[in-house]
Structure 1
Amino acid sequence: MSERVIPGRMGGLITLSAADALWSALTAGSGVPAAAAVFTCSPADARAGYVLLGNQVVETVQTSGGGWSVVETDVRRAAAKLNAVHMDRQDLVRIGPFHTAQQQHTYGAPLRWRRRIARELQAPGGPERVTRGEDGPLSHLAGIDWRRIFVARTRDQAMRTWWLPRAAVRLLDAAEHTERQWLHAARARQDSAPPADPPACPEPAAATAGGRLTAHPPTAPLHPYNGELKGQLYSVLSRKPGISRKMAGWTCAVCRTAPATVLDHCHEHGYVRAPLCHSCNTLERPDHLYSNTIRVAGRYRRLFDTHATDWLHHWHRCPGCRARTTLPLPHLAAWTAHTACQPLRPTHRNPRSSRTRTPCGLLRVSWTGSHHAPHSCLLTVAVDCCPSGEHRVLARVPYREAAERFRIWLAETASVVAAAAGPDRLDGLPAQPRPVIADTSEEGLALF
């Protein structure tokens, strides 16, 4: 590395071009693709006082000669954090498009990565340009080269949808939260400094094009969710002023690491479950093909196998589901297809290995009726795209039978969750499902 290292702080100050070279060398083998020139190219702006790399803030320092530098140790720490992230490129989260007004982005403003991606992709030829790997106005997001992991899909032969791996979504959400905390702390330091004794270097702040500070709500440290919203109806709670700000103070009740961004609730009984991050909210959301049909995606292995106890506890935060020892109908349908009917699914010889067999096609489950009329509700589990039959029906399971199977499985799988449930806890449950409140969030994601 030919750039000169400036002594003075732990690890030494290095110029921005040297930091770019160091970052590229350290993240060359990262599972999350890292961008190049993260300190010197747009949207990075050293004058803002910091550069965001993953969920780490690397402060920029103006030297006596007027140039900008960063601490070498901070760059290495950010690279190590990024390298530690494991990313499954098949585990995708939809990030758009959603029905929102396109908003102008200003460089130097906070990350708000969903807005930035939407702005680029909504431009003429945006998705095609990104898929081809062509450079656009936004070269990276928090040091991540999102174009290399971006996926565009076509639905119903017309609608295009945008997807990123779940690990990248969680990392970018954490980056947004880290940036808000850092900006709030920097603003507090600036407000407490005596007017007659200004700092030698300008304090970092998020600035608009006119140089004025943008207003951000104070960001307090995150704290774990401990059932503060237990038993409350979403239709009532969602209308209370300040609930969004209060929700943003919790960590996600499932992964317990990312900041909460949505309020998950049960559509069938109307009760709030808990605040979740976007990633966990999409993980638990059924893949609806139609109003009464879902496709059983691969992520259900995590919901019902490896992380079953955590998710069952989360779903049973709804008093209605807990009292009836069941799940909402779409979730119960997914469980029936994935767990109870999995042995019935055809398999085919794996072309890569003669000793193994792979499941056939894609599981799909539909239902007639509803949970309000369990005697007439019927679940139909089928396989799509099966060579021996395009829509091969595996089983037809009455609702009551599916619920009883789930009750037995729950007792064997998560005894603590099962012990808290029971038919004697029906007092106070709403007789009719509560209306779902229309989402007004800027990303257009349903708050459930």
Structure 2
Amino acid sequence: MPISREYACSLFADLTQSAMIPLDPDELLHMPGLRRHGHVFFGDLAVRCYKHKARWTYDERDIRAAGRALAELDLDLGDVVDVQLPVYRNMAERDPEERHHPNWRRQLVSWMFDQAHFKLVREERPYEEWGDWRHIGPNGLPGDMSWEEFVVSSGSHRRLQNIAGTRPLQLLTWSGETWRLPRVYADLLDRWELREDELVTRARLCSSCGEQGPYWGDWRTTTTAGYVTMCPPCSGAAFQPYTGHLRGVQYGSARRASTRADDYLCRLCRAKQASVWDHCHEHGHVRGPLCAGCNTFEGKGTPQFFLQREGAALHLLECRGCLEQRTLPNRFHLGVVRAHLEQTERHGSCRQQPYAREVGHAHGVYRFQLECSAWHTNGNWTKDITAAEVFALVQAFVDAALMQESRPAPDPAAG
């Protein structure tokens, strides 16, 4: 029987009240592994996610089975093993393949060193005073961080205290020489690594040709029935490219409603089956079919980053209203300004590109703060941009995008 995420979370929490392993039932709400493999893990137990009537659900039998199994799991807190944590390496130092595979020991190390680094940043201590912040103290933690500081800072975000739906910091102890965990729990996390890799490997296979795709699920796209994995060539063969036949059509029209978006390739990535008709919320015109990932990026992603994507500006201009007015939806205007400032503004004679962010808006003037502090002392300054200047920058951006496509901009004088 399909049940909602909310009921599944409540039911699981009730069933595992007596569990000796600290669990995070909210994983059933957030579904962190949904795109990668379509399951939620609690230790080495994988609970499958289903899509029922376009909503993600669970099978009540799966929730009850997982809850009972975890509630009955015996944990001897006196039977512990030494946890051999690997040497800390930041993302730039890691092997690319290493980043993709689950490793709970490496995750613990990352938490420790990341929180030690954040502590120094929060204290606003100059970099010259950081010293050897990676040095491990007598309590097993780096950066002169106490255990209480580590727990509090990790608790500020559930992602920083959760591994496989469990909370290892509630069981982790320091012996004076090594970190320790109950043997049963450490074995459970070892099995999780294998099971997670197994599910991801299976989910990476193209459903048509069997080719193996990227680890993070770049070939996976959501449909009304759940996620499907298809490589770009197979998607190109199975779905037709969009040729603009709905250009100028209102999103709420019967013509749009009678045309399925999932018959087409995503207009932006051109690698996945589309799932929705993207449209301009300000003019109401259809822009084209998008996959779920591209649609989310367009609607909720950072505007400046979206506009840097190939074909993104021209996709927005599929709206007849935006095209005729030589503009973009309002949410992208300041992204255009930010990009312009970062490309043109410099701190004195420095050639380093600054970072720009909006810090205020009053009386038709937008104030931006530009930062070059990573390279210069007091490398911060402000720049005011009027509404008229924003309008001109957006029009110039649109004209440049149209020129690259060799599509003439509309003549404002034309009727």
Do they superpose with TM above 0.5? Answer: no
TM-score, structure 2 length as denominator?
0.39
Decide which structure has greater helix share: 2
The alignment's TM-score, normalised by the length of structure 1, stands at: 0.36
